[in-house]
Structure 1
Amino acid sequence: MDIMISNSSGKPIYEQITSQIKNLIMTGELKAGDPLPSMRLLAKELRISVITTKRAYEDLERDGFITTMVGRGSFVSESNTEIMKEEQLRIVEGYLTKAVEVASRSGVALQEMTEILEMLYEEEKR
């Protein structure tokens, strides 16, 4: 499992970990039942605090992406990934609705919004 941490990113490290693991699950690279590295091992590999990996794993568990079993470790949840994807799409739609409202009030054209969205999407993928 390759996780890249960027110190220049505006996101906190635990959010970078969370979003990358969610992406691996959503794209099918990590499948239901697959084990995740222990919090300590991941912290060591990324050279970060165990507290940071603990927070990321807690967020993933809260959102239903992983389950943690005491003494056994953390595993990708058996939950339906379609339900998780639908939830994420609902959140995205909410943010985009707000962005469209602001753009409309400010006179920003649809073409400009599309260009901004494409640029932001490409930046996030890096």
Structure 2
Amino acid sequence: MRFTKDHEWVELDGDVATVGITAYAAEQLGDVVFVEVPEVGKTVKAGDGFAVVESVKAASDVYAPISGEVVEANSAVAEAPETVNAAPEAAGWFAKLKVANPAEIDQLMDRDAYETYLQTL
């Protein structure tokens, strides 16, 4: 699993990457009440907003950590947004992307680097 400074995570399985928000992000948001997942077929570039998550505190864009095409959207989180709080780095994923540039993964933080980054916030 790799992480961004915007608190997204990405896990690669072959040429498909699963994307979601980190436990830290879910905790900061508070109770998630709405999730908008991207449409299958949508092409995104690293850094593009591609999903929306709303909590009782705020609405936030979820940014694509890597470039690719959405091949699956997690409709379960749209129907049960609380899943993002309950399992942000598991069942609370937002989308799966067919990876356009595998080298982008290497530019993201591993868990140790992300944990170190969180200590600076």
The TM-score normalised by the length of structure 1 is 0.31
Q: Which structure has the highest helix share of the two?
A: 1
Q: Which has the higher contact order (CA 8 A, sep 6+)?
A: 2
- Whose Rg is larger? 1
The TM-score normalised by the length of structure 2 is 0.32
Q: Which structure has the highest strand share of the two?
A: 2
